[in-house]
Amino acid sequence: MKAKRNEDFLFKFLMQIIKECPDWVSVVAFYTALHFVEALLKKRHGIDFEHHEERHKFMSNVLPEIFDAYYHLYDLGFNARYKSVNDAPTYDEAVSVVKYDLTEVKEYVMSRI
């Protein structure tokens, strides 16, 4: 499962250097959540989205229980990838999304696939 590979990379390597690169932690945390969600959508609904906006619309209606956590991960990952260094996720934000948001998404998905 691609999500597990991302999660292993996140915890084995990136969490060890989170103070130096909270932006990368946020990016990998988002993609880990994305792959967990994609696995659920494929298995339960036979859906494989190509665009974030389509996935967001579907999730907000069908998976509202985890949409806020997922979207928070998406937002921080987006800021890390495309915004200025001043808008990059902080250490505290990166810790929080991994500890709470990613855990919420993972637990929800794993209890349903």
pLDDT tens per residue across span 7-59: 999 999 999 999 999 999 999 999 999 999 999 999 999 999 999 999 999 99
Please provide the size of the chain in residues: 113
* Amino acid at position 58, single letter: F
Indicate the DSSP class of residue 83: S
pTM: 0.96
pLDDT at residue number 85: 87
Summarised one tens digit per residue, pLDDT across range 64-79 is 999 999 999 999 999 9
Cα 63 from Cα 57, distance rounded (Å): 10
CATH number of 2-110: 1.20.120
In this prediction, residues 98-106 reach a mean pLDDT of 98
According to the model, what pLDDT value does residue 69 have?
98
Spans of all domains in the chain: 2-110
Inter-residue contact 88 to 22 (CB < 8 Å): yes
